[in-house]
Amino acid sequence: MKPQQYHYRVVISYKGTHFFGWQDLGDNGKKPTVQFLITQVLRKICKLAACTVSAASRTDAGVHAAGQVAKLSIVKDISAEKLQLGMNSLLPADIRIMACTHCPTEFNANRGSVSKIYRYYFSLDEVSTPLLNDIVAHVDLCTDPLRDKKQVLETMGQGCEHFVGEYDFYSFSVNNKQVKSTLRRILRLELRQAHFSNITNNSYYFEIEGSGFLRQMIRYIVGALFELARGNIEIAEIDAALRRRNEHKLSTKAKARGLHLMQVNY
């Protein structure tokens, strides 16, 4: 007789700097991932009994999360509060369970979501700030002395508008033959100033909300906006890439360290 399972919905925050992404790589932790470490902690709490951990998003190596959502399925009946406390006492400091509640068996963290919100943080400081290096990408966009920072930011803000809507994002993602469709809908993409207390006043972020994202899609979009700001590509080229399935990318992808999964909506 199959043992009864108990299901929990958790919100997870992690700094991805030292992890090889979310998904367990099947190498017994030689390259540590967030999913692997959470699974190991759960197995310890459940005295090595089988358990499953499935998340809303498979973040890449070096990518962070403030609001990753996952479903935990275990065979031990434990209160959500005790499970949260127990996991946080065993997990490394770079991973924390921010919320834990019981959920129905049919809850699916990925397929059940209606939208996901990411932020890409970047700094325009002349010299990168060591205190933020792990979570904010340092970029040089003002390569033309005739273009000031205000103009650069306005150019990127205008470029953001061209990604909003439903498009084939094949040209802005890693080719994955397992994906049936590369059609995705971007609900909004906005450029805002970030506030990191007195550490820097020269940091910004793109906030992007979509119904779903292809692998490295956001990093390619941000990379294209950076190249637009540098004057290396035109908005017309972005529009053309959204109409065609190009193997050649408009730009390199932005660094992983600036990307944060902020929220998953249901």
- Catalytic annotation, residues: 60
What tens digit of pLDDT does each residue of 25-60 get?
999 999 999 999 999 999 999 988 889 999 999 999
The span from the CA of 81 to the CA of 83, in Å, is 5
The span from the CA of 120 to the CA of 176, in Å, is 23
How confident is residue 255, by pLDDT bands cut at 50, 70 and 90?
very high
Q: Enter the DSSP assignment of 165.
A: E
pLDDT at 144 over 80: no
Q: What is the mean pLDDT of the chain?
A: 93
Identify the pLDDT of residue 5: 92
Domain limits of the chain? 6-102, 115-265
What tens digit of pLDDT does each residue of 61-104 get?
999 999 999 999 999 999 999 999 999 999 999 999 999 999 99
Do 171 and 182 meet the contact criterion of CB atoms below 8 Å apart? no
Element counts in the chain: helices (H) and strands (E): 5, 10
User: Which residues, other chains included, contact 82 with Cβ-Cβ below 8 Å and sequence gap of 6+?
Assistant: none
Measured from the Cβ of residue 127, the count of other Cβ atoms closer than 10 Å reads 7
Identify the pLDDT of residue 141: 85
The span from the CA of 175 to the CA of 247, in Å, is 8
pLDDT at 196 over 90: no
Question: Tokens representing 2?
Answer: 């199959």
Could you tell me which residue, 144 or 166, shows the higher pLDDT?
166
CATH topology of 6-102 equal to that of 115-265? yes
Q: What does CATH list as the number for 115-265?
A: 3.30.70.660
Q: Enter the DSSP assignment of 105.
A: T
- CATH 3.40.50.1980 is the classification of domain 6-102: no
The span from the CA of 21 to the CA of 33, in Å, is 5
Do 229 and 235 meet the contact criterion of CB atoms below 8 Å apart? no
Do 206 and 120 meet the contact criterion of CB atoms below 8 Å apart? yes
